[in-house]
Every structure is written in structure tokens, then in C-alpha cells.
Chain A
């Protein structure tokens, strides 16, 4: 079947249904989606914030981060005890890769890595079967043999893909990342199936402690466009996690610029991860969003 070309006019047609002119309307692409059984169930995502998540120095507060992660995981999985919940995700004989992100301006942070590491250990995994890595995952024996992955990265706008997302965080599993830059990284989700990462991934954590909502210049960074949101978004569905984070970034841009300013380029890889690659759910209507903690300026 010949692929349908989507044009600006398709967006004009659905504009009345999507008051946010800069956003990529779901319905433009939705005719490409197959309705699967999974879509009938809502994807659950937990957004947790704590006003004390960052210390005066700007560094994350380890104790608070652990508490936020524990509360998010127990809420997500419907339990009371964080360790018991982690044991439903990770088995003691698993080899666990904690996929981090080392971008110099806004990394995953040691505190988030440590909070995850601690709970993986509590689930009974020996220390030598746990690895934390980003750009070295292809050479790291733990990741080469991993039976389970925890995916944790900071949320930020991105010059080429629109948003640095949990989906995008697996780009370092690819030998030549630039091969996935086509059409502003539209098909990043394919990495998850091509490299057998989808089923291994047990949890996705989008770190929203100090997100970047707008980027400038070759390094796509300015402190001017970073704010203390002090949040984490946690879920088993990476697409739902990213779609929720995207809503926060878009809301912040709206607030800051005083007008609708969609991401440039739009983070269409998140939408296409759903409609084309069936990795998860991007439609907010199909996401059960549970909001916990600090409510001020939550934006969504």
C-alpha cells in the first residue's frame, strides 16, 4: 500500500480539534495506528514532585530522591513496600543495566542512579550483576548480557529530535547513532525492537528535576531556559512517560514565551513510537496520570 503523505494541510484540518497550534495533533497520524489489545488498557504514569528535591547548591537531595522514587514505584505498581514492588520488576538472577545519561549540562544525576541501584540491590541482584552506563553500553559486559534494563534520563528539548526522551535514551545501543537522525529522528522507537530492548526494559524514569525547555546554539543549552521543576515521571510504558514529560515542557514554553511555541522540531518520534512502532501510548486520553507531591506550578 502506498504510504500516505502527511502535509501541513492535514494539520489545518484538525486544528479546530487541537487548540494548541504548535503541538502535533494525534489525530493526524492516528489513521496509521493499529488498534491493539494493549491500547484498550490505559498506560499508568506517575508524576511525583517534591519542593525539597534539590538542595541549596542545586544538587539533588539523595534522601528525597529515594523517597520520591519509592513512592512513584509503589503507586505505579499498586503496592506498599518499595522493595517488594521492585522484586516484581527484577529477579535476583537478573543482570541489570541502569541506562543513564551523561550529558554534561543536565545528566541523569548520581543521586537518581544511586536510588535505582539501591533498589535493584534490594531486589537481590549481586553488585557485580548491576551496571550503570550511557555511552559505553555497547562495550559494557553487564549491558551486553543484560536481562533487565532500567531506563533513566533527564528531560530536555533536543535540537534534532525535538525532545531528549526515554525513547531516545537508547540511541547509544546503536553502532552509528547518526543513522537514526533521518526525518528528525522520527523512527527512534525502532531501536527498541531492533536491539531487543523493549521487553528487557522494566522501568522508565524521566528525570524532571531541572528540565531544559528551550535550546539555543550548537550546544543547545542556556541556563536561561532551565527551571527547577523538582519532579520525576515514572512508568513502565516509555512512550506514555515521554508524552507526559513533553506536555510539561510544552506548558513551560507556553508560560515562559506567553504564546504557543511548539518544539522545533516537533518531538514526533514520541507520537510515531505509538502510532507507527506500537511501543506504547502517546495519547494523553489513554494515559492514566497519577500526580503526587508538590502541586505548585505543576503545569499539567
Chain B
């Protein structure tokens, strides 16, 4: 059996230890799929569905006199989606676990390969934090390989990029979660489009870059025209407009890639940002 196939067949429960720092499993694990996830986490389930998650296993750990620890392991199907769902909430401190982690208020999240982990202590104590870190490391070690980030992330210029500002996603609900663009899906995003949104510090102003790869050039052209019509009908022929806040928005299409820059401080900075993305894309 190939290594890849063995990895694909790995059971979620095998990733989790039965005991960590004196916390022990005292309940049956629970498993959820995209249909049943609402029984577990209500509306938040939509976030994981937006990233095409396949399975979730929840295991609870108990220790006398200490808060319960809830370990939720999501099989996202691909490393791109594990990375994506991790980028949904980047608030917190990176503890160097897995391929990217955050710790905040008793919650340790990280991703590795096609898995996203949420380890949560119902109350934040010093002991619980140590246990969360130990649990995170144990799980990360039991996932045998790293996964690749989505290709679109490599199109994002590094200069001026603000730390922890990259969000990778598919649909317009998640786009609007991070940046409200329009109440309708004017960019024709769906579960197969790949989008990256990030923030730059340009001339002491925050500018936002959105890159989207469509299934094909025709769909990308359709989306570009829709965006221009709904969002910037007053744009110049080259796809730039000065918006009501005296900043610049620019849109550019190259085959299946649509690039939009919001809040650029100047006309030239908007154009320059687009040019950098195109150069990076053409290098790949």
C-alpha cells in the first residue's frame, strides 16, 4: 500500500491519545459529517462546510479539579482546506505546533496535512494550557507528513504583507465574513473557486488584495464583468476607480485569475500591486 493511501485511510481516532498530562478519556468519541455537524456546533458548522470538510471526531478529556478539554479533529479532505479553515480565525499566539498554530483564551488551533485541530479547555488554567500544548504536540507528531498550502497563496507579494492576514477560502459567505464586498455573490464564488484575501501596509495605509482562481477563463471573465458592473461601473477602461473614501480600487483579469485591490492609497500603488501578483503568478 502506498504511503499516500495509508495516510488517507488513517482513522481520526488514531491521531488522538487516550491520556495527556493526567487528563483521561471518559466518554465515547463522537463523529460528525457535513450533515450532522449542526447537532454539535450549530451555525459554526457552516464554516467547516464552507471548506468542504469530510469528518469530525470529538474527544473529551477529564481530570479531577481541572476543566474539561475538548479535542475536535477535522478531516478536511485536502491540505489546502485544512490551511484554509485554519486561516478563518488567526487571532492568538503561534506556539509552533503543526504547520501553523494559534493559542488564545484556552483554545489551541493548528493545521497539519489535511487535518485541522481545535483543542479547547473549558476554563483557562496553567495546567490546562500545558496539557493543551502537550496534546497538540502529540497529535501533530502522529500526523506523518506535512501538507502543501494552496498554490494561490504563492501569488501574494511578501512586501508590506501584514502578519496573520492571509485568508484562503472558496465562497462569498466567507469572503464577506472577512471583508464585506456585496450582499449578492457578484464575484461568482463557489465551492471550487480558490480565493486568497490579505492585507498590506502601503504608505501607512491598509490595502486589501483579493485573488481568485476560477475553474476556467470563461467563468473568470463572467465574474470580472459582473464585478465591474455591480461594484465599479464608473471604473476606467483599465479597471481602476477612485472610491468614496478617496482610495483606489482596481480589478484585473488574466486568464482564470481575477485580482482585485481595495483601499489602495494611490492609483500607482493599486497598479503596482496587480503587477506584482501577475509577475509572481507567471514565475510559478
Contacts and interface: CB of A to CB of B under 8 A. Distances in A.
Interface of A: 3, 5-9, 11-13, 15, 158-161, 177-178, 181, 183-186, 216-220, 222-225, 264-266
A217 B186 contact: no
A177 B38 contact: yes
A186 B42 CA distance: 16
B70 interface: yes
Given A12-B243, A181-B46, A222-B104, A216 B89 contact: yes
Contacts of A218: 41, 44, 47-48, 72, 118, 120
Nearest to B178: A264
Given A7-B230, A223-B106, A13 B173 contact: no
B182 A8 contact: yes
B72 A216 contact: no
Contact of B262 (A8, A158, A159): A8
B41 A219 contact: yes
21 contacts: A6-B182, A7-B230, A8-B231, A9-B231, A12-B244, A15-B244, A159-B44, A159-B46, A160-B46, A178-B45, A178-B46, A181-B43, A183-B183, A216-B107, A217-B89, A218-B72, A219-B41, A219-B70, A220-B41, A222-B104, A223-B106
A158 B105 contact: no
Query: Counting chain B CB atoms within 10 Å of each CB, which of A12, A185, A216 scores highest?
Result: A216
Given A8-B180, A8-B182, A218-B41, A184 B173 contact: yes
B91 interface: yes
B79 interface: no
A5 B177 contact: no
A15 B180 CA distance: 14
Given A12-B244, A220-B44, A224-B124, A184 B177 contact: yes
Interface string B184-204: 101000000000000000000
Contacts of A11: 180
Contacts of A225: 105
Nearest to B41: A218
Given A12-B245, A15-B244, 15 more contacts: A3-B184, A7-B183, A8-B181, A8-B182, A12-B244, A159-B44, A159-B47, A177-B38, A183-B173, A184-B176, A184-B177, A186-B183, A216-B92, A218-B120, A224-B105
A160 B43 contact: yes
Nearest to B181: A8
Contacts of B44: 159-160, 218-220
Contacts of A186: 183
Given A6-B183, A264-B177, A223 B123 contact: yes
A243 B104 CA distance: 29
B207 interface: no
Interface string B45-74: 111100000000000000000000010100
Contacts of B46: 159-160, 178, 181
Interface of B: 38, 41-48, 70, 72, 89, 91-92, 104-107, 109, 118, 120, 123-124, 173, 176-184, 186, 230-232, 243-245, 262
Contact of B106 (A161, A181, A222): A222
Contacts of B123: 223
Contacts of A158: 43
A265 to B, nearest CB: 5
Contacts of A178: 38, 45-46
B260 to A, nearest CB: 11
A266 B245 CA distance: 21
Query: Counting chain B CB atoms within 10 Å of each CB, which of A15, A218, A223, A225 scores highest?
Result: A218
A11 B180 CA distance: 10
Given A160-B44, A177-B38, A216-B107, A5 B124 contact: no
A37 B263 CA distance: 41
A217 B92 CA distance: 11
Contacts of B173: 183-184
Contact of B186 (A3, A7, A160, A185): A7
Contact of A5 (B89, B120, B176, B184): B184
A5 B230 contact: yes
Given A5-B184, A5-B186, A178-B38, A265 B43 contact: no
A216 B182 contact: no
Contacts of A161: 43
A265 B105 contact: no
A8 B231 CA distance: 8
Contacts of B91: 216
A159 B105 CA distance: 16
A8 B208 CA distance: 13
Query: Counting chain B CB atoms within 10 Å of each CB, which of A8, A12, A160, A178 scores highest?
Result: A8
A223 B124 CA distance: 8
Contacts of A224: 104-106, 124
Contacts of B124: 222-224
A98 B41 CA distance: 24
